[in-house]
Amino acid sequence: RRYKYLSNYSRMKNNISFVHIAAYSALFLSVTLAILWACNAGGLKAVSLDTFVGVIVSLLALVVTFAIGWQIYNAMEINRKIEQLDQKMKELEKLKMQFESQNKKIEELRHEASHFSAIGIAKNALSDSDYLGAYRFFQSALNHALYMDSPINVSSMVDDMHEAITKANPKLKLNRRLYEDVERNDATIRKSKMYSLIQDKNERSFALFKEKVIVD
């Protein structure tokens, strides 16, 4: 990067030098013509209007030539800069796509890990006869599975949820935060594209939850 910066700085210095040379050359030519005219060089006894106009036109032509050349150079330099900018934008877009793809993979792994973790906790709850806890964690596992590009264990999670809440005793108390977590998970599950495959059993399970569980 430092080399590139020095290269651009050197090119800019060369451009400035070119402008100075052009300006000094035009000034030198003008002064030389003035001196030659003042010294009557070439044996001119007088300067006619045509001669004077010719000199002015020549000077203007020289200045215009330099100006046009400079504009052409600037146009080429701008085009080159635009091409470099386009290339940088393409590289940036490529990096953005790679970053998004990497984030998607990380999110997929997170949901997969959360899915299996919730299953483990739910099975421990079943072994302790905590059927309400098992229902909650099987539901969480189902929710994480449905976030994945290729959902796993969907049918078995719904079956386990239904079995757990069926075994749960009525009039169970659950604190408000956990109760609202169950409601949010159910709302998210219902929005899944795969919901039609599990709709019947999920709705029966959730209805049993609402029937048996009250907010503490």
CB 186 within 8 A of CB 206: yes
Q: Which residues fall within 8 angstroms of residue 70, CB to CB, at 6 or more apart? A: 18, 19, 22
Distances (CA, A) of 65 to 59, 71, 151: 10, 10, 71
The pLDDT tens digits for 134-193 are: 999 999 999 999 999 889 999 999 999 999 999 999 999 999 999 999 999 999 999 999
Q: Is the pTM of this model over 0.75?
A: no
CB 195 within 8 A of CB 189: yes
Tokens of 171: 């009039």
Q: Which residues fall within 8 angstroms of residue 174, CB to CB, at 6 or more apart? A: 132, 182, 213, 214, 215, 216
The pLDDT tens digits for 20-52 are: 566 566 666 666 666 665 565 555 455 566 666
